[in-house]
Structure 1
Amino acid sequence: MTHKYNNGLDKNPANHSALTPLSFLQRSATVFPRKTAVIDDDMSLSYETLFGRCCQMASALKSLGVMAGDTVALLCPNSHEVLESHYSVPMCGAVLNTLNFRLDAASLEFILDHGEARVLFYDTEFEALVKAAVAGLEAPPVLVSIERDGGASEGLARYDYESLLASVAPTTDWQRPADEWDAISLNYTSGTTGNPKGVVYHHRGAFLAAMSDAMAFNMSADTVYLWTLPMFHCNGWAYTWAITAIGGTHVCLRSIDTQVIHDRIERYGVTHMCGAPIVMNMLLHELGQQGKTLSRSVQFALGGAAPPSSVIRKAQAIGFEITHLYGLTESYGPATLCVPQPEWSELGVEDLAAKMARQGVGTLAIDEVRIVDPATGKAIAADGKSLGEIQLRGNTLMKGYLKNPETTARAFADGWFSTGDLAVMHPDHYVEIKDRSKDIIISGGENISSLEVEEILYQHPAVAEAAVVAISDDKWGEVPCAFIHLVTNQESNQEEPSQKPPTEADVIAFCKERMARFKIPKKVIFGELPKTATGKIRKNVLRDQFRDE
C-alpha cells in the first residue's frame, strides 16, 4: 500500500541529492572564499584556492585515465597534498587509499596489489620504500611524486604533483557521486591473519561521520585544528572532511615534535586536536619538564586506552581538555565518546577519571550500541558487571571488506557489526571496555596483529612455539611481548647438536629484517608456554604475568 505522503511526491534534483562530504568544500569556498583553509610548511591556501586545486587535480587524474571506481593510493605525511586528495580523488569518481608510511615494503606491495591502485601519490621521503614496494607488481600504479623535504624524485616517478596539477586548465567542475553508497575511500586494517583487510567507506557514511564528529567536538567556523592525528588513519577520523564542513582551519604537521606542536598551538591559536595516548603522554612529559603551559585551552580527543587520573590532572594543568573516544577502522574512527555530564564538573580528579575511563555512548551517526552474550547473541543487562561483546548499528559503518564477502558477512551477522571488543554497559548506558577478544595490540595508535608477528617468529629455525601478547608501556601504551619455546636437540631432528640458542637480541634482529619497526616485539621471554587441555596456548596466563607491573 502506498503511503499517502509518497503519492505523487517524488525525489527530484531539486529536493534530493546523494550525500557526499565533497559538497562541504564547495560550500566553504563559497561562504569563506578568502579565509585560510590550510596552513602548511610550504604554503597556505584559502578555501577558494583549495577548492580550485582539488577540482583541477580531479581533472588531471582523469587525463591519466583514472575512471569511476579506480583506486588512487597515497603515501605521505600530513600535508596539504593529503588533504587535497581527500577531495580531488573522489571528485573524479575514484576511491582514495591512504597508506600508512610506517609499513614495510611487503605490506605496501600487498595493499597496492589487492586494492588495484591505478595511481600512487608519494612523498619522495619514501622513494626507496616505494621502489621496493612496486618492484614485484605485475601492474604497478602510475607514480606521482610529492617533492617536499625529500627533494626531487630520482627517476622513479612519471610525474610530480605540482606539474601534474598544472598540466590541465583550472576548473571548478567536479563529479558528484551518482549514489551516496558509492565508495569514497579504502583503508586497510590489521586482522587475525598476516594480510590486512581492506575496509571500504561510502560517501554517505563519510558525510555523516564528518557532521557527527564536528558536533561531538563542539566545532565551529572559529575552529583551528592541528593535525597531530595521521590523515592516513581512518581518513583522519573523518576530520579531513569535518573541519572543512564547518569552515575551520587545518594546520598541517608532518611529524610529532613537542616543540613544533607547542609553537603551532600558540602561533595559530589552535583550538582542537586528536591523537593516540602516546602523543598526549609525550606532550605532557616534555612540556611539563619545561614548565610550559598553553595560553588558551585546547580540546584534545584521545583515542585508545582510557586516560588515568594522573594524565587528566597533568593535561588540565597544562591547558588540555580531554575527550575520550572509541572506534575502529570499520566505523570511520569514532563510534562512541564519553559525553561529559554537567554534574561531572564538581567531581575530583580521581572520580572524574573513573567516569572518563568509559568509552561512553554512541556518536550522533550511530543508531545503537549494545553489549551481547557472545554465546547466545542476546543483549545483556546494563548493570556494569555483565561482560559481553560490543555491537554497533548505524550510518557510519563500512560497506564491508574488499574482496572478502565471507568475513564481511560474519562481521554483519544478524544486522549488527560485531567489534570483537569485550565490555560492560553501566546503568546510565555508558560502555566500558574490559578486554579485546581479538588478539590485536594497539601500540601508539597503530594496530598490530599478534598472529602476524607470531607467523614471522615461527620462520626462525630455533622457534618451536611462539605467542605474542600486549604488555603495557609508558610511552606507547602497549607493545608486543613474545613468549618463545625453543626447539630442543631432540625436536630438531638433526644428527649434529643444534647451534647456540638465540638470545633476545637475536630474535629482535631477526624480526627487524622481516616486519615494520612498530610491530617488533620489545621484549622476548623464553620457556614453555602454558596450554589448555586441548593444547591451545593460554595467552591470558601470559598477559597476567605483567598485569600488575
Structure 2
Amino acid sequence: MAAANDDPALARNPANFRPLTPLLFLERSAAVFPDRIAVTHGALRRSYRALRDRCVQLAHALAQRGIGRGDAVAALLPNVPSMLEVHFGVPMTQGVLNTINTRLDAGTIAYILEHGEAKAIIVEREFIPLLRAAFAQTAARPLVIDVVDDTTPEAARDETLGGIDYEGLLTEGDPGFAWPMPADEWDAISLNYTSGTTGRPKGVVYHHRGAQLLAVGNVLSASIPRHPVYLWTLPMFHCNGWCFPWTITALAGTHVCLRAVRGAEMWRLMAEERVSHMCGAPIVMATLLNTPEAEKRALERSVTFLVAAAPPPEAVLRAMREAGFEVCHVYGLTEVYGPSVVNEWHEEWNARPMAEQAALMARQGVRYLALEGLAVMDPATMAPVPADGTTLGEVMMRGNVVMKGYLKDPPATAKAFAGGWFHTGDLAVTQPDGYIQLKDRSKDIIISGGENISSIEVEDVLYAHPAVAAVAVVAKPDETWGETPCAFVELKPGMSATEAELIAFARERLAHFKAPRAVVFAEIPKTSTGKIQKHLLRARVQAS
C-alpha cells in the first residue's frame, strides 16, 4: 500500500489536519455546557460561558498590547480563578504562559523574569511585595497586571506597582475575538522552571501537542468521568497543575479554587462542593489525615486522590484507603508535563490484605497511554535492567509528552536526551510484572561502607512508627563508613518518641547497616508543592 503514503492527493490540508491544542477544550465545553458551573471560589459561581468569554477577553486585551507568538507572560498567582483563566487566555494570543512558584525568593524570581524574557506579569496583590523585591534585583520591567478578589488578605488589598487592574484589562477585550490557533502544535504553550535545588532553575518548555495529549492522558489514566468536581490543592504553578486546568475543562468539570491548603478548609470544601477528585503530594495526604476529628466533615462521595512526588509511605497509603479515599499513585517530572506513569490497579488486588495492597500501591507503575516509552536502564550502556525487582537502573522516558527542551541551555538539553531517551535522574527497579518502583534519586543514594542504602526504604520503615508524621533521610559523613543514614523526623501532635526508640524500631525491620545512626527532631523543609528539600538537610549535616 505504498500509494497510501505517496499519493500527493492524500497530503495534509485544513480539512484533515489541525494542530493539537488543549485550548479548544474550553470552546467545546462552553458550547455544549454553557450554563454548567465551571469555577467556584468562595461565593463566586462562574459558568462555562462566562469562563470562556473572560479567557477570550484576556487574550484580546493582551494581543492589543502587543503580546503575540512566542512572547512570555508570567503569572505570580495562587489557585484563584484568574490563574485558571491565564492557562487559556495567554496561549490564545500564541504567547507562552510562565507560571512562577509563589514561594520562591525574590532573587530567583528576578532570574526567571530575565531568563524567560516576560513581557507582562499577572500578579495577585498578596505577592506584589515579593515582585517589588524581585524588580530591585533585575532590569527586567514587564507590564504589571494586578489581581485582587474577595480572598486577598486585607493587608495586601492596596498593594500596587502602578500596574493595570486585571478586571479593568478584561473590559478592554472582546469576547468575540477570533483568537489564533497555534501556528504549529510544536509551538510553546508554557514555560515552567525547575526547583533549582543545585543551581539556577532550568526553563522547561512545553508545546501544545504535549499539553493536549497529557491532559487527555490524565482522563484515561485516572478514569475521570464527565463533570468531575476538582479541588485545587495542587498549585497550578507546578507543571501547569499537571495539565489539570485543561483536563477538567475538557470534561466540563467544576474547578473548586483553594487559595491555601489547610486541613479544615479542604474537608469543608470536599463536603459542601461534593468534590470527586484532587491531586497533591504526600504532605497533602498527611494534612488531611492529621486534621483534628472535630474539623473533619462527612463526605457524601468517595474522593479520588492522585498522589505523586516521593513515593507515599505505605502507612499513609493504608490510612488514606481506610479513611475512604481512592488513591491513584502517579509519577512524573516537570520535564514530562507532570504525571506520565501510573500505578494501574488490578481488581483482583482488592482481595489481598491491606498491607499487601499498600505495598502494591507504593509502586510507581507503568507508562501513561500518552507516553510512548518507559524503561529502567543502565545509563552507561542504555540496556534495560532485568525485571527482577532488585537491579537498580535509571528511569528513562520518551514520547510526545516529553518537553521540547531547556530554554537557552543546549548542553543541558543534549545531556537530558542522550541516547534518544529522557534521563530522569531517578533510580528504580523493574518488578517481574513490569511495574517500575523508585528507589531513590541518584544523588540521594547513601553509600555506607560500599553498600548502597535507599533513603526511601529507610523512610518507609520510619513512617510506619505511630508517632512519626514526616521523615527525611540523608547521608551524614562518617569517618569509618564514609557516610551513614541520618533521619530528620517530625512527630505527630501529642505524640512522642526518642532517638533510641526510632533507631531500634528501624533496626528491627531493616538490615542493621541501613538503620539510621542519628535522628534529628526538627521541622522538615519543603517546597510549596510538598517536596522535601533534602539539599538543605544535606547541607545541615555537612556543617554539623
User: Does the alignment reach a TM-score above 0.5?
Assistant: yes
In 2, are the aligned partners of 1:52 and 1:172 still within 8 Å (CA)?
Answer: no
Structure 1 CA distance for aligned equivalents of residues 39 and 475 of structure 2? 41
Change (3 A) 1:369 1:339: same
Per-residue deviation, 1:519: 8.1
Q: Secondary structure at the match of 2:87?
A: helix
In 2, are the aligned partners of 1:226 and 1:265 still within 8 Å (CA)?
Answer: yes
Per-residue deviation, 1:481: 8.6
Q: In the alignment, does 2:269 pair up with 1:264?
A: yes
Structure 2 CA distance for aligned equivalents of residues 215 and 421 of structure 1? 25
Q: Secondary structure at the match of 2:10?
A: coil
Structure 2 CA distance for aligned equivalents of residues 311 and 527 of structure 1? 30
In 1, are the aligned partners of 2:306 and 2:327 still within 8 Å (CA)?
Answer: yes
Per-residue deviation, 1:165: 0.7
In 2, are the aligned partners of 1:484 and 1:526 still within 8 Å (CA)?
Answer: no
Q: In the alignment, does 2:282 pair up with 1:281?
A: no
Q: For residue 535 of structure 1, what is the aligned residue in structure 2?
A: none
**Deviations for 1:179-203, whole angstroms, at most 9, x for unmatched residues?**
0000000000034641000000000
Q: Which amino acid aligns with 2:133?
A: A
Q: Secondary structure at the match of 1:4?
A: helix
Q: For residue 185 of structure 1, what is the aligned residue in structure 2?
A: 190
Change (3 A) 1:369 1:168: closer
Structure 2 CA distance for aligned equivalents of residues 100 and 256 of structure 1? 15
Q: For residue 9 of structure 1, what is the aligned residue in structure 2?
A: 10
Per-residue deviation, 1:428: 1.1
Q: In the alignment, does 2:204 pair up with 1:196?
A: no
Q: TM-score, normalising length from structure 1?
A: 0.81
Q: For residue 78 of structure 1, what is the aligned residue in structure 2?
A: 79
In 2, are the aligned partners of 1:278 and 1:477 still within 8 Å (CA)?
Answer: no
Q: For residue 109 of structure 1, what is the aligned residue in structure 2?
A: 110
Structure 2 CA distance for aligned equivalents of residues 251 and 189 of structure 1? 26
**1:355-394 alignment, distance < 5 Å:** 355-394=360-399
Which of 415, 424, 445 is matched with 2:420 structurally?
A: 415
Per-residue deviation, 1:116: 0.4
Q: For residue 147 of structure 1, what is the aligned residue in structure 2?
A: 148
Structure 1 CA distance for aligned equivalents of residues 533 and 147 of structure 2? 25
Per-residue deviation, 1:426: 1.0
Structure 2 CA distance for aligned equivalents of residues 13 and 286 of structure 1? 54
In 2, are the aligned partners of 1:181 and 1:202 still within 8 Å (CA)?
Answer: yes
Change (3 A) 1:17 1:438: farther
> How many pairs does the alignment contain?
474
Which of 158, 171, 174 is matched with 1:166 structurally?
A: 171
Q: Which amino acid aligns with 1:220?
A: P
Structure 1 CA distance for aligned equivalents of residues 305 and 245 of structure 2? 16
Structure 2 CA distance for aligned equivalents of residues 206 and 63 of structure 1? 26
Structure 1 CA distance for aligned equivalents of residues 473 and 216 of structure 2? 34
Q: For residue 495 of structure 1, what is the aligned residue in structure 2?
A: none
Q: Which amino acid aligns with 1:223?
A: P
Per-residue deviation, 1:294: 2.4
Q: For residue 344 of structure 1, what is the aligned residue in structure 2?
A: 349
Change (3 A) 1:478 1:79: farther
Q: For residue 92 of structure 2, what is the aligned residue in structure 1?
A: 91
Per-residue deviation, 1:287: 5.0
**Deviations for 1:422-472, whole angstroms, at most 9, x for unmatched residues?**
11111211000111114599xxxxxxxxxxxxxxxxxxxxxxxxxxx9995
Q: In the alignment, does 2:308 pair up with 1:303?
A: yes
Per-residue deviation, 1:104: 0.6
Per-residue deviation, 1:170: 3.3
In 1, are the aligned partners of 2:387 and 2:431 still within 8 Å (CA)?
Answer: yes
Structure 1 CA distance for aligned equivalents of residues 243 and 261 of structure 2? 20
Structure 2 CA distance for aligned equivalents of residues 523 and 438 of structure 1? 11
Q: Secondary structure at the match of 2:186?
A: coil
Q: In the alignment, does 2:211 pair up with 1:206?
A: yes
Per-residue deviation, 1:375: 2.3
Per-residue deviation, 1:72: 0.2
Q: Which amino acid aligns with 2:411?
A: E
Q: Which amino acid aligns with 2:193?
A: Y
**1:397-412 alignment, distance < 5 Å:** 397-412=402-417
Q: In the alignment, does 2:332 pair up with 1:331?
A: no
Structure 2 CA distance for aligned equivalents of residues 164 and 484 of structure 1? 60
Structure 2 CA distance for aligned equivalents of residues 528 and 77 of structure 1? 35
Q: Which amino acid aligns with 1:79?
A: V
Q: Which amino acid aligns with 1:282?
A: T
Q: For residue 130 of structure 1, what is the aligned residue in structure 2?
A: 131
Q: In the alignment, does 2:251 pair up with 1:250?
A: no
Q: In the alignment, does 2:396 pair up with 1:395?
A: no
Q: Secondary structure at the match of 1:269?
A: coil
Per-residue deviation, 1:265: 0.8
**Deviations for 1:355-399, whole angstroms, at most 9, x for unmatched residues?**
112100000111121111122221121121211111001111100
Q: Secondary structure at the match of 1:274?
A: strand
Per-residue deviation, 1:525: 5.7
Q: For residue 466 of structure 1, what is the aligned residue in structure 2?
A: none
Q: Secondary structure at the match of 1:369?
A: strand
Per-residue deviation, 1:522: 6.1
In 1, are the aligned partners of 2:59 and 2:173 still within 8 Å (CA)?
Answer: no
In 1, are the aligned partners of 2:330 and 2:342 still within 8 Å (CA)?
Answer: yes
Per-residue deviation, 1:311: 2.0
Structure 2 CA distance for aligned equivalents of residues 164 and 282 of structure 1? 37
Per-residue deviation, 1:43: 2.3
Q: Which amino acid aligns with 2:102?
A: F
Q: For residue 545 of structure 1, what is the aligned residue in structure 2?
A: none
In 2, are the aligned partners of 1:146 and 1:161 still within 8 Å (CA)?
Answer: yes
Change (3 A) 1:191 1:103: closer
Per-residue deviation, 1:420: 0.8
Query: 5+ unaligned residues in a row in structure 1: which ranges?
Result: 442-468, 486-507, 509-515, 530-549
Per-residue deviation, 1:317: 2.9
Change (3 A) 1:174 1:479: farther
Q: TM-score, normalising length from structure 2?
A: 0.82
Q: Percent of aligned pairs with the same residue? A: 47
